[in-house]
Chains A and B, each alone.
Chain A
Amino acid sequence: MLKYRRAFAIGFLCVIVTAAVGLAGPWVLKYAIDDLGQGVDTARISVYAGAIVALAAVGGLFRFVMRRVIVGASRDIEYDLRNDFFAHLQRLDPAYFQRHRTGDLMSRATNDLSAVRMMIGPAVMYSATTGLFFIVGIVLMVSLNPRLTLFALVPLPFVSVSVGYFGAVIHRRFERIQEQLSEISAITQETLSGVRVVRAYRQEPFEIERFRLANEEYVRRNRGLIRVLGMYQPSMGFLMGIGALLVLWLGSREVVAGRMTVGELVAFNSYLMMLSWPMIAFGWVTNLLQRGMASWKRMLEIFDTPPAITDADATDEIGDEAHIRGRIELRHLTFAYGDTIVLDDISAVLPAGTTTAIVGATGSGKSTLLHLLARLHDPPPGTVFIDGVDIRHIPLSVLRGAIGMVPQEPFLFGATIAENVAFGARGDRDTRARVEEAAAIARLDKDAPGFAKGYDTVIGERGITLSGGQKQRTAIARALMIDPRVLVLDDAMSAVDTYTEEEILSRLSAVMRQRTTIIVSHRISTVRSADQILVLADGRIVERGTHDQLVARGGAYAELHEKQLLEEELAAS
C-alpha cells in the first residue's frame, strides 16, 4: 500500500500545478486584451503569446505525469485486487460455490472490480482537479468582479440539483434495463441449447414470439431511460448557457459603467467556461464514487467470507501423503445440510488396501459421504479418521493428495487430454509416460487414435468434444495419475459401455490391490466382488457384509439383487 500512497502524493502535486497553470491562462489573456485596447507595441504582445504557450506546455507536462501516475496506480491496485480475489475464491469451500452463481462471482471480479478501479483512479483524479479548479476559479472570478460572480453562479445550484436527480433516476432505469437484458440472455440460452426439441416440436414461431416479447420489453425500458437521458445533456448546456448570457449581458453593462475592463470580461468568460466542466464532471464523479463504493461493498462481501474449510486444526502427526496407508474409519458420523440430515450415525472401518462398495438409491447420502472424506464438506470433529488420525487434523493438501476421486459427472478443463490427465500430477518427471500409462488403464488408449492430435488434442470448454464415456475415462486416468492411496469411484462408469467397463475393471484390479478403494454403483455386477458392501438408505447403513452374506441375509440388497436377476430372466425369455 505504501507504493500507492507515494503515487497518489505525486499525483496530487501534479494536480495542484496543473490547476494553477491552467487558471493562469485567462489572466494572461486579460492583460493582453486590455493592453490591446489601450494601444501597445508588438513586443509586449509576443511576450503574452509566449506566456500562453509556455503555460500550456508546463501544464501539459504535469497533466501527463498526473494521468500516468494516478491511473497507472489504479491499474496496479486493480491487478492486486483481482489476484487477491482469485486467491480468496480458491480458499472457499464447494458449498459456497453452490450457494453463489458463477455469473454473480464473475461479475464481481470484472464489473465490480472495474467500478472500484474507476473510483480510485479516474474519479479521484477528476474530483481533485475539479475541486481545485472550482475553488480557485471562483476566488479569481470574485477578485475580478464579485457582483458578476454572484450572477454568473445563479444557475449553479440548479446544475448540482439536476445532476443529482438525473444521476439517481438514470441509475435506477439502467438497472431495470440490465435486468431485462439478462432475461433476453436466458431466453436465448434456452431456445438455442434446446434446438433439437424446438425443431422437433415445431416451436420456432412460439420461441420467436417469446423472444419478441422480451425484446419489446427491453426497448420499452430503454425508452424510459432515453426520455430522461435525452433531457440531461441539453439541460446542462442550457443552464451553463444562462450563466454565460448573464455574464455577457451584465458584464458588458459593468464595462460600460466603467467598473470593469474588456480584458476582465473576456477573462471572466474564460473562467466560467472552465468552471462549466467541473460542474458537469461533479455529477459524473459522484456517480463514479457511488457506484465504486457499492461495488467495493459487494467485493468485500466475498473478501470477508472466511473459508469454511481450513487447516486451522492441522497437525503434522500423519506426515506427508506418501506415509498414508489408507485405513479409513467412520465413527458415529452424522451430517446435515441445514436441517436436513443426510448421514445418520454412520460407523464403518475400511481396512487399508481393501475394496468397499456403497450401494443405495439416489439421495441416500452416498456422494455426501465421499465428499466428507475429501473434506469438500467438513465432517464433525472425531467422526472420520484416516490411519487413526481425525481428517480434520490432516492438512488439506496431504489429505487430498492421498485421495483420487472420480465423480459421476467429471469436470474437465478446456486444455489437451494429456493436460487434463496430468491435472493433479506433481513433479515434471516422466509426465508423458505416466499420462499414457494412466490413460491405458482407463482404456482411453482405445480412442486416442481417433483424436486429431492424439492425447495432445484440445478438448473444448468442459470437454464438450468428448462423449460422456470418454469424459469419465479421462477422469479415471486423471485420478490414477496422482497415484492416490485411496481411490474413489463415484458411479464413475455410468456412461461407459459395458464391454469397456469390463476392460477397465480388470485393468484396475491390479491397481486397486495396493489401494483402499471405494466404489459407488447401481450395478450389482460392479460391486459384487468388493471386500465389503455397505447398503445406504436415507442416510443410514442398513446392511453391511460381502455379496454372499448380503444375498443370504435376504434384506434390501438381496431384494435389489433379486430385481436385477428377474429383469434379466425376463430379458432372456
Chain B
Amino acid sequence: MTHDEEVLGKAYDARLMRRLLTYLDPYRGRVALAASAIVGHSILELAPPYLTKVVIDTYIPSGDLSGLGFIAAIFLVTLSGSFALEYLQTWTLQILGQRIMFDMRMQVIGHLQRLDLRFYDRNPVGRLMTRVTTDVDVLNELFTSGVVSVFGDLFTLLGIMGVLIWMDWRLALVAFSVLPLIALITQWFRSNVRESYRTVRTWIARINAYLQERITGMTTVHLFRREARDYAIFDEIDRQHRDANVRSIFFYAVFYPAIELVSAIAVALILWVGGGWVIGNSLTLGSLVAFVMYAQRFFRPIMDMSEKFNVLQGAMASSERIFALLDTPVEIWGRRSFLEDSRDRALSTRDCPPKMTSDPIFDGPGAIAFEHVTFGYVPGEPVLRDVSFRVEPGQRVGVVGATGAGKTTIVSLLLRFYDVQGGRITIDGVDIREMDLATLRSLFGLVLQDVHLFSGTIAGNIRLGHEAISDESVRRAAAAVHAGVFIDRLPQGLATPVAERGATLSVGQKQLLSFARALAFDPRVLILDEATSSVDTETELLIRDALKVVMDGRTTIAIAHRLSTIQGMDRILVMHKGQLRESGTHQELLAVRGIYHRLYQLQFQSVATEKPATSTA
C-alpha cells in the first residue's frame, strides 16, 4: 500500500466533475425524474411554518374550527406528497448510482483486460484492485450518503429565502444579516477539516499496510525476535493516527456549536427587531412565529452540507485515479480485435453474452521468424539485441542461457505481450503486428513455471472459458499427462472445486494441470517456460514424461532451466546478455566448446560427477 494512494486533491474539480457527469448521459430520464422529485420535495417542506402562520393570524383569532380542520387537511396532503416525492427521489438516485457504478466497473475491468503487460509491470495487482473495488465504491457514496441530496438542501435554502422575502422583505434582511458569519465559519471549518481528513487517511493507510505486512510475516518476526522493536514502530504510527483524529475533533467540536450559536443569534434578532414591529402593528404575530420556525430550519442543511464535504473530496480523488487508469492508452492492438466489441458490450448490453465459440483460429503452417529483433523494458537498457532465428513448423527448439539473458522476453514478444522496438517478428511471413491479436495467440499454448489456477473446478481450469472443449477432451488431456491419477483420487474427480488458488494441490500436481490445459487447447505451437521449483524425484519423472506427450507433434519452444530437457531438441538457441550467441543441436554445440559447453559443464560436471538436474539456469 503506497502512500501516494492517499493524497487528496482539490475538493471540487470542474474538469473531473464534467467528466463524471457524462456517466449520467444514458440515464437522462431518471436524472430528470430525480431532479423534479428533489425540487418538489423541497417546496413541500416549506409548508408547515406557513400553515402555522395562517393558523395564528387568521383562524385562532376568529376561532374558526372548520378552518383549522381545513389547514390540517392541507398539512396531511403536503405530508403525503412529501413522503412520496422523497421516496421517489431516494429510489431513483440510488438506483442511478448503482447503474453508474456498474458501468464504471465494467469499463475499468474491460480496459484492464486490454492494457499492456507493461502497465501490469508498473502497477501491483493490489493497487489495480483498489481501482475496481474501493475507488468505485467511494464514488457510489456520492449517491448513498446523500451528497447528491445536498442539491436538495440547496433548493430548500433558496426556497426558505424566497418565502421569507415574500412574507416580509425587511425582516428577511434582518435574518440574512448573519449569513456572512455562517460563510466565515463554514470556510474555516472546511479548510481545516480537509487538511486533517487528509492526514488521518494517510495514517490509517500506514496502519493497514504495517499490520498487513507484519501479520503475513509474523513467523519471520518471531524467528528474528523483532516483537519489541516492531511494537515500538506500530505504537508510533498508531499514536500519530490518534493525534490526527484528536485534532480533527477540535474542528467539529467548534463548528457545530458555532453554527447553533449563529442560529440563536438569528432567532434573537428576529424576535428583537420583529417583536418591535409586532408591537408597532407593522407585522403579524403569526409571521413572526413563522420567521422563527424558518430560521430554525435554515441551518440544518448548512450543517449537512459541511458534513458531506469529506465524501465529495474523497470521491474527487477516487475519480481522478479511475480516470487516470482509463486514460492509459493501450499500445498493443490487434488489427481488429474481438475486444473492441467487448468494450461496448461491457457498457450497454446485458443480454448478449460474448461470443466464445467463434474464436478465430490461425490457419497456416506457422513458421516463426525473428528478424533483427531488439527490445528493452527500460529505454536505453536493451534486453534483446539484434536477435534473428527461424522456427520451422514441427521443429522443437530449446532456449538456454543464464538468468537475465533474455529467454523469457523472447516468449513475451512472440505472444505480443510487448512489441518489438527494432526488427520484426513474422509468422508465415506476416508481421505479427499486422495480425489479429486473438488469432495470433490462438496459435500458441503457454505453460508457465508459475501455474495460475482460477476458482472453479479442476475441469474448469483445464478448459478455462472455452466451452467448446468437451468433458471428454478434458478427461483425455488430463489422462495423457498423468494428471488423471491424482484427479481420480479427488472427492469429485474433475468436478472438484479448486480451493483458494490451488492451495490444496501440490506444486507438481499444478504443473500437470497446466500441461493438461495446454494439451486440451491443442495449439499449433507449444511454449514452455520450464518450472524450477524443486519437486521430489518421483513427480519429476512424471512431469518429464508428461512433457513428452504434450510436445508430441507440435512446434515447441522451450525455455529450459534443465539442460537435460532440451538435449533431444532439434535445435538449441543459446542466449547470452541479450544476444543469440550460438545455435545448433546438443552435439554440435558441445563440439563448438563455447557458452553452451560452459553451461553444460557448470550444470553437470562442476561438482564431482553427480550434479542433479534440478537446478536453475
Q: Which residues of B contact A241 (CB under 8 A)?
A: 48, 75, 79, 82
B83 touches A238 (CB 8 A): yes
Closest CB in chain B relative to A345 CB, distance in Å:
23
A230 touches B91 (CB 8 A): yes
* B4 interface residue per 8 A CB criterion: no
- Chain B residue with minimal CB distance to A214? B105
* B234 interface residue per 8 A CB criterion: yes
Bound form: Cα–Cα A87–B614 in Å:
42
- A-B contact list, 14 entries, CB within 8 Å: A49-B268, A49-B275, A50-B268, A89-B214, A90-B230, A106-B211, A188-B128, A196-B448, A212-B106, A219-B98, A230-B90, A245-B79, A362-B539, A524-B610
Q: Which B residues from 277 to 309 make CB contacts under 8 A with A?
A: 278-279, 285, 288-289, 292-293, 296
Closest CB in chain A relative to B71 CB, distance in Å:
7
- Chain B residue with minimal CB distance to A96? B218
How many chain B residues sit at the interface, stated as a range, is: 35 or more
* B608 interface residue per 8 A CB criterion: yes
* B150 interface residue per 8 A CB criterion: no
* A205 interface residue per 8 A CB criterion: yes
* A86 interface residue per 8 A CB criterion: yes
Q: How many CB-defined contacts (below 8 Å) exist between A and B?
A: 444
Q: Which residues of A contact B570 (CB under 8 A)?
A: none
Q: Which A residues from 396 to 449 make CB contacts under 8 A with B?
A: 396-397, 400-401, 403, 405, 410-411, 413-414, 423-424
Closest CB in chain A relative to B370 CB, distance in Å:
18
Of B68, B72, B82, which contacts A237 at CB under 8 A? B82
B441 touches A200 (CB 8 A): yes
Q: Which residues of A contact B256 (CB under 8 A)?
A: 63, 67
Q: Which residues of B contact A464 (CB under 8 A)?
A: 124
* A19 interface residue per 8 A CB criterion: no
Q: Which residues of A contact B604 (CB under 8 A)?
A: 568, 571-572
* Contacts A67-B249, A230-B94, A522-B612 given; does A208 touch B110 at CB 8 Å: yes
Closest CB in chain B relative to A13 CB, distance in Å:
16
Q: Which residues of A contact B582 (CB under 8 A)?
A: none
Q: Which residues of A contact B225 (CB under 8 A)?
A: 396-397, 400-401, 424
Q: Which B residues from 193 to 239 make CB contacts under 8 A with A?
A: 204, 207-209, 211-227, 230-231, 234-235, 238-239
A188 touches B133 (CB 8 A): yes
Of B52, B87, B220, which contacts A269 at CB under 8 A? B52
* A476 interface residue per 8 A CB criterion: no
* A36 interface residue per 8 A CB criterion: yes
B533 touches A215 (CB 8 A): no
B90 touches A233 (CB 8 A): yes
Q: Which residues of B contact A525 (CB under 8 A)?
A: 607-608, 610-612
Q: B interface, by DSSP: helix, strand, loop or mixed?
A: helix
B276 touches A502 (CB 8 A): no
Q: Which residues of A contact B608 (CB under 8 A)?
A: 525, 528
Q: Which A residues from 69 to 109 make CB contacts under 8 A with B?
A: 71-72, 75-76, 78-79, 82-83, 86-87, 89-92, 94, 97, 102, 105-106, 109
- Chain B residue with minimal CB distance to A212? B106
- Chain A residue with minimal CB distance to B275? A45
Q: A interface, by DSSP: helix, strand, loop or mixed?
A: helix
* Contacts A60-B261, A106-B208 given; does A192 touch B128 at CB 8 Å: yes
Of B63, B214, B452, B612, which contacts A523 at CB under 8 A? B612
Q: Which residues of B contact A495 (CB under 8 A)?
A: 532, 616
A262 touches B285 (CB 8 A): yes
* B564 interface residue per 8 A CB criterion: yes
> Chain A 220-248, CB within 8 Å of chain B: the 1/0 string?
00110011011101110110011011001
> Chain B 228-269, CB within 8 Å of chain A: the 1/0 string?
001100110011011001100110111011101101110111
Of B80, B234, B246, B539, which contacts A83 at CB under 8 A? B234
* Contacts A397-B225, A561-B610 given; does A467 touch B403 at CB 8 Å: yes
* A305 interface residue per 8 A CB criterion: no
> Chain A 452-487, CB within 8 Å of chain B: the 1/0 string?
000000001110100111000000001000100000
Q: Which of A25-33, A140-148, A290-298, A538-546 contacts B (4 or more CB under 8 A)?
A: A25-33
Of A76, A186, A207, which contacts B465 at CB under 8 A? A207
Of A63, A86, A222, A252, which contacts B257 at CB under 8 A? A63
Q: Which residues of B contact A498 (CB under 8 A)?
A: 602-603, 606, 611, 615-617
Q: Which residues of A contact B249 (CB under 8 A)?
A: 67-68, 71-72, 75
- Chain A residue with minimal CB distance to B442? A202
Most buried by B among A97, A205, A460: A205
A248 touches B117 (CB 8 A): no
A90 touches B231 (CB 8 A): yes
B267 touches A195 (CB 8 A): no
Most buried by B among A202, A227, A241: A202
Extra contacts besides A52-B267, A89-B214, A181-B133 (19): CB < 8 Å: A71-B249, A75-B249, A89-B215, A194-B454, A200-B441, A208-B346, A216-B102, A219-B102, A226-B90, A229-B90, A229-B94, A234-B84, A234-B86, A265-B56, A424-B225, A495-B616, A567-B612, A568-B610, A572-B604
Bound form: Cα–Cα A396–B219 in Å:
13
Q: Which residues of B contact A238 (CB under 8 A)?
A: 79-80, 82-83
Bound form: Cα–Cα A362–B505 in Å:
12
* Contacts A204-B342, A226-B90 given; does A42 touch B276 at CB 8 Å: yes
> Chain B 112-144, CB within 8 Å of chain A: the 1/0 string?
111001001000111011001100010000000
- Chain A residue with minimal CB distance to B537? A563
Q: Which residues of A contact B617 (CB under 8 A)?
A: 497-498
Of A64, A79, A105, A524, which contacts B241 at CB under 8 A? A79
Q: Which residues of B contact A266 (CB under 8 A)?
A: 289, 292
B211 touches A59 (CB 8 A): no
B227 touches A90 (CB 8 A): yes
* Contacts A49-B269, A362-B536 given; does A205 touch B465 at CB 8 Å: yes
B452 touches A79 (CB 8 A): no
A374 touches B223 (CB 8 A): yes
* B38 interface residue per 8 A CB criterion: no
> Chain B 436-478, CB within 8 Å of chain A: the 1/0 string?
0010011011101000101100000000111000000000000
Closest CB in chain B relative to A217 CB, distance in Å:
11
> Chain B 420-444, CB within 8 Å of chain A: the 1/0 string?
0000000000000000001001101
Q: Which B residues from 20 to 75 make CB contacts under 8 A with A?
A: 48, 51-52, 55-56, 59-60, 63, 65, 68-69, 71-72, 75
